[in-house]
Amino acid sequence: MANPQPWWKNAVIYQIYPRSFQDSNGDGIGDLAGIIQRLGYLESLGIDAIWLSPVYRSPQDDNGYDISDYCDIDPMFGTLAGMDDLIAEAKKHHIRIIMDLVLNHSSDEHRWFQEAKKSRDNPYHDYYVWRDGVEGTPPNKMRAAFGGSAWTWVPEVGQYYFHQFSIKQPDLNWDNPALRQELYKAIRFWMDKGVGGFRLDVIDQIAKDPDLGITSNGPMLHAYIRELNANTFGGTDLVTVGEAWGANVRNAPIFSDPRGKEFSMVFQFEHIGLDQIPGKAKWDLAPLQLSALKEVLTKWQVGLHSKGWNSLFWNNHDLPRIVSRWGNDGAYRQESAKMLATLLHGMQGTPYIYQGEELGMTNVAFPTIDDYRDIETLNMYRERTQAGYSEADILRSLHAKSRDNARTPMQWDATANAGFTDGTPWLQVNPNYTAINAADEVADAGSVFHYYQALIRLRKQYPIFSEGDFTLLFADHPALFAYQRRLGDQVMTVLCNFYEEPLTLPADAVAPLPLDTLLLDNYDTPADAAHFRPYEARIYLNNAE
């Protein structure tokens, strides 16, 4: 039997995108030594673990999600010894390090692929997914996530290889048992170094069947995940989170079964797709309907309670900044950032904070495509330009959804380049760093930073945050997102005005609510229980014994 309450059930995890966090040597790229310098800041925020986006050896075609050696650190970030230091130093700050495993594909510069493309009888050939064909006529019409065909021709073997992402990210063939064992060996290498867990990139896509057009949730998926678990972290206290765009509320309990045969939890993205035109690309923007957000988040809260485990996130390195996306990054930046944090951190699951989210960092609107670096963005720009979209249209989509919105350097202070680097940053800092930065927010008790700190503290103090069940309140209200959590006699009520317009609830609707103790409010002047100022959010507890 698994421990009924593993550590990660009331943990808060902080995601670091290493190349954008802190540069220590002036080359304009964040690194491991830079992270070590900032551990004190992270400890003061109160987080339990860092999820580190990939720092393995990589040609950086997709910023490290293209790995050429699973057991080495890229010189750009440091060394293996530097990684040992980070693990040891973080431990002194009571912080665990979660590594990012990219097991669906490797880099085309990985030794395995270099061998695989030499000949069909090379022992590594079958580590990848190949199909016969004739040059110029790929096996089928499947498209890669970053544009173009999912098939690339290799003349040496007279075959196409399959890649769901870029040309430089060939998909690994999980049907090959030798490949699977190699990956398990790499995972054990990091376990022996004392890491605290793993985030598994696009793990629902490993069991693909390109002939049938199947990418996620292939028939062998759960068998492979169970074998992976049994050969590596199964039975340990490591936290594991599978990234699964194909997760739904029916299969998520399989991935995150409390008996621990697969992962601790998955990242699912149902709420993340709500502001795009259904069936179209993420670039095709549509306004968020609050009713849809309520419906999706409630479905997940109720659906996983006692059957699986939720991860709670608004942001990551692929997503736009939440305060710009569903809040108000102008006049009400602080209020709306705090409201969105309240809404998320009041729920059941493990909250994730993406670097800078705790400062209310915003999207960036670079004026030209030359300022962008992300492969997905650059490919999209090329494809849409060829397809006849206007420059203005494309830039509007990028300002809203480009992955570089999340990747501008961390804003530490108001000095040059936001204190991120002494050199030239690989991606420009957001010009708003003089107004939004960690130094100012740490010094200001009313800042977004201090509010996140308070939310984390409350989660540690009251088990109802991690254990209570969930009921949506005021389901049909057009502007209020409200819910109740219950644990025994305790009732916690979370009330969030999702918009700028103040709102007042009918007195008879508020009177029966058990609003005895105000735990947290994103305004510092006293609240009138029925009235909500712009983006006002409050958490109450009843006075149970």
Site of interaction with ligand TEU (CB under 6 A)? 62, 65, 102, 145, 165, 201-202, 245, 282, 317-318, 376, 403
Query: What residue 357 binds from ligand TEU, Ca ion, none (CB within 5 to 8 A, per partner kind)?
Result: none
- What is the per-residue burial (b if ≥16 Cβ within 10 Å, else e) of 50-86? bbbbbbbbbebbbbbbbbbbbebbbebbbeeebbebb
Burial category of 424 from C-beta neighbours within 10 Å (exposed 0-12, middle 13-18, buried 19 and up): exposed
Q: How far is the CB of 509 from ligand TEU (least distance, A)?
A: 40
**219 and 207 in contact (C-beta within 8 Å)?**
yes
Told to judge if 467 belongs to the known catalytic residues of this protein, a careful annotator would answer no
Among 3, 5, 25, 248, binds Ca ion (CB under 5 A): 25
Query: What residue 27 binds from ligand TEU, Ca ion, none (CB within 5 to 8 A, per partner kind)?
Result: Ca ion
Q: How far is the CB of 71 from Ca ion (least distance, A)?
A: 22
Among 2, 7, 27, 450, binds Ca ion (CB under 5 A): 27
Look at residues 91, 68, 72 and name the one whose alpha carbon lies nearest to residue 80. Answer: 72
C-alpha distances (whole Å) from 38 to each of 31, 32, 176, 419, 447 are: 11, 10, 42, 12, 19
- What is the per-residue burial (b if ≥16 Cβ within 10 Å, else e) of 185-197? ebbeebbeeebbb
Among the options 74, 201, 204, 335, which is catalytic? Answer: 201
Closer to ligand TEU at the Cβ: 168 or 459?
Answer: 168
Pairing label, strands 56-57, 151-154: unpaired
Among 12, 22, 23, 304, binds Ca ion (CB under 5 A): 23
Closer to Ca ion at the Cβ: 77 or 255?
Answer: 77
- What is the per-residue burial (b if ≥16 Cβ within 10 Å, else e) of 490-526? bbbbbbbbbbbeebebeeeeeeebebeeebbbbbeee
Tokens of 287: 């306004």
Closer to ligand TEU at the Cβ: 321 or 403?
Answer: 403
- The owner of tokens 């739904």 is 248
Among the options 31, 62, 74, 243, which is catalytic? Answer: 243
Told to judge if 85 belongs to the known catalytic residues of this protein, a careful annotator would answer no
Q: How far is the CB of 91 from ligand TEU (least distance, A)?
A: 26
Q: How far is the CB of 442 from ligand TEU (least distance, A)?
A: 29
Q: How far is the CB of 37 from ligand TEU (least distance, A)?
A: 25
The residue at minimum Cβ distance from Ca ion is: 31
Residues 223, 226: Cα–Cα separation, whole Å = 5
Closer to ligand TEU at the Cβ: 245 or 499?
Answer: 245
Q: Which residues of the shown chain bind Ca ion in the complex (CB under 5 A)?
A: 23, 25, 27, 29, 31
Q: Which residues are catalytic?
A: 201, 243
